[in-house]
Every structure is written in C-alpha cells, then in structure tokens.
Amino acid sequence: MKFAFFDTKPYDRPAFEKYGSLHGVSFKFFEAKLNEDTAELARGYDGVCAFVNDTVSPPVIDKLAELGVRVLALRCAGFNNVDMRHAYGRLHVLRVPAYSPYAVAEHAMALLLTSIRRIHKAYIRSRDFNFSLSGLTGFDLHGKTVGVIGTGRIGRVFIDICRGFGMRVLCYDKFPATGLEDGDRIRYVELSELYRKSDVISLHCPLTPETHHLINEESLAACKKGVVLINTSRGALVDAEALLSAIKARQVGAACLDVYEEESDLFFEDNSGHILEDDTLARLISMPNVIVTSHQAFLTEEALENIAETTVRNISDFFARGECENELCWRGTSAEDCKSGKCF
C-alpha cells in the first residue's frame, strides 16, 4: 500500500518509516497540508494520512474520491477537521482513538503548574540573574476544586493527576462514566455548578457543533472570579475574543492554551520572522497570565510510537479484511463507541 502523508514534520518520519516497513505500507512524505490546492498530490496513492490541521472538506473529499483514494488514515484522535457526513460512502476514515492520554493530561498539568507557580516568569528572570521573588506568588492546588469537562481517556487521566495533588473534582460529560464518582472527591455535576464552583477548569471533550464555543461570554461570566482555564482539547471550544475580554476584566485569572481556534495556519510552524496578523492571539500571548503552546500536548516519544503503530495497523487491517475497528462512521462514532451505544 502506498500512502500520501500530509503535513509531515521531522519528528513524524522515524516511527512511520519503521512501522510502515514492518507492515508493507510505504509513505510519501509531503510537507504541504492537505487542502483543496494540494489534494492532487494524492494521485496514484491508495490512501492519505492526515493530521489535525489538514482540511478534509467536501471539495477535498470529492477530489480524493475522483483520484480513486479510498482511505483517509488520520494520525490523531480528533476528527473535527473532516466533514464526516460528506465522507460517508466516499472515503473510509480511520483514526487513532488513543495513543497516550498521559501525554495530553500531563501537559495540561504542566501548563497549570507553570502558570500558577509563575515558572515561565521565574525561568526568564533567573537567566538574567534576577533572583527577585516579587510578583511570583502562586497558590496551592491542594484543597482546590478542578472542573473537568469530558471524562473520556484524557479527562480521566487528568482527574487521577489532580487527585494526586489533593484536589476536589467536579466533572461534566454528556455520557457520564460509571464507577468514576468517589464521594465528595469526584462528582458529576451540571455545567452551571461546575462553572460556579471550580477554581480550575480543564477541557477534555471533543469539538462538535454542540461544544463549539462552549466557553463563551456567558459561561465565563458564570465562572468563579479568577478561574484558571486549561484547553488542551480543540481551540474552537473557547471563544477566544470572549476569553480575552474576561482576562482583561480580571474575571479569568489565567489561561493555559495548547490549542487555538485559528491555529491551523500558525501552529507547528516557525513564524518568528513574520508579523502576526491575528490580533487576538497576539494580545493573548502578551498577557502575563496566559501561556500558549502550539498543539504540543501529544508530543512525547511514547505517543509518536503509538500513533505510528496504530495508524499502520489500521491501514493494514483495512486492506487485509476490508474493515478496521478504528473506522469512524458518518456520525463520527467509532466501532468501539458503537458497541457502548454512544452512537444513539
């Protein structure tokens, strides 16, 4: 099988070359992102391999289908960049549902600790031999309340980590997990209560039409004053303009963002020599209480290995058996989730 691999970064290649050669899948690595202008590059390939900021819109899907490409192997968990309804009947969409929930959950905690203990400030100061502590006062996580929205694989690991810090956990999920609640320590609540009572809120749900701008002017106003918001899920869960206003109004105490709504043309690339056109992002980055990383939460050695291994296994399963347990249906639900009834 020959696959066109879009949006290649140097760190992608070693694991994909290793697992590809083990399973007879060859990859042609393109640096370009998949979109209407580049879909033609997939001519002559059995499938395409895409990542979070590739655009799999109806025109791209039509073009791939016209080229005879049957399979889209996503090397990520989220699939909000794929028009699943349009893909139905045209492309088989495979994904990697889990590769290291620890990578993302640990990054969320790294951002939180960096932010509230002002590590980003202290690092810069000490490099300049400025050992003053003024302005570096943080707060203990122990005894604080964290609100976790989305209690799937990553959300549950993040809850474990927070419990290790002695935090109380309030959860919200459209499909609550059985067996997760633990007395007063971990409780499912309605979103209104989670907003009202949480000192820290971390987002771990997928981006869907329902969760688009879940964090907006209204929900931010409903939060505890000084709340710390962490988003390692998808940028458009948060209305960035509303977040900026809430930070200026001191309603939000800090924001830790690994993802950003308009990230696709910026993140993963070196833009240091360019003038940033996105004023909202520029203003957010300029805030002393905002930390932005560029969709880095997944980036651990373990995750890269697992992503490559599962993607290649998905491809070889699909071509060997005509099916794959990680194929998404038109609702964006995987075979695994269908078994649990989430599809309905």
Binding site for ligand NAI (CB under 6 A): 77-78, 98, 101, 104, 149-155, 172-175, 204-208, 210-211, 232-234, 258-259, 295, 297-298
Q: In angstroms, what is the minimal distance from the CB of 154 to ligand NAI?
A: 3
Asked whether the beta carbons of 172 and 194 are under 8 A apart, the reply is yes
Give the whole-angstrom CA distance, residue 226 versus residue 209.
28
Centre a 10 Å sphere on the Cβ of residue 88 and count the other Cβ atoms it contains. 15
Distance CA 120, CA 148 (A): 24
Pinpoint the alpha helices (H) of the chain. Answer: 13-23, 58-66, 84-87, 101-116, 119-127, 153-164, 191-197, 217-222, 240-248, 279-286, 301-321, 335-339
Q: Which of 86, 92, 107, 263 is catalytic?
A: 263
86, 156, 234, 313: the catalytic one is 234
Nearer to ligand NAI, 159 or 205 (CB): 205
Q: How far is the CB of 69 from ligand NAI (least distance, A)?
A: 25
Compare residues 246 and 304 and give the one whose CB is closer to ligand NAI: 304
From 75, 156, 168, 295, active-site residue: 295
| Cβ–Cβ under 8 Å, residues 69 and 45 | yes
- Whether 234 is catalytic is yes
The alpha carbon torsion through 59, 63, 66, 68 (nearest 10 deg) reads: -130
Shortest Å, Cβ 169 to ligand NAI:
14
Residue placing its CB nearer to ligand NAI in the complex, 71 or 259: 259
Residue with nearest beta carbon to ligand NAI: 152
Nearer to ligand NAI by Cβ, of 12 and 258: the residue is 258
Q: In terms of CB distance, is 279 or 301 closer to ligand NAI?
A: 301
Phi, psi (5° rounding) for residue 257?
-120, 115
- CB of residue 40 vs ligand NAI: minimum separation in angstroms? 29
29/188 with CB nearer ligand NAI: 188
Q: Which two tokens stand for residue 100?
A: 């290291």
Q: Residue 216: name the closest of 191, 190, 193, 246 by CA.
A: 246
Report how far residue 253's alpha carbon sits from residue 25's, in angstroms, rounded to the nearest whole number.
Answer: 48
CB 165: neighbour CB atoms within 10 A?
A: 15
Active site residue 263: yes
Closest CA to 138 of 154, 164, 153, 118: 118
Nearest distance in Å: CB 235, ligand NAI: 10
Closest approach of ligand NAI to the CB of residue 132, in Å = 34
- Catalytic positions, please? 234, 263, 295
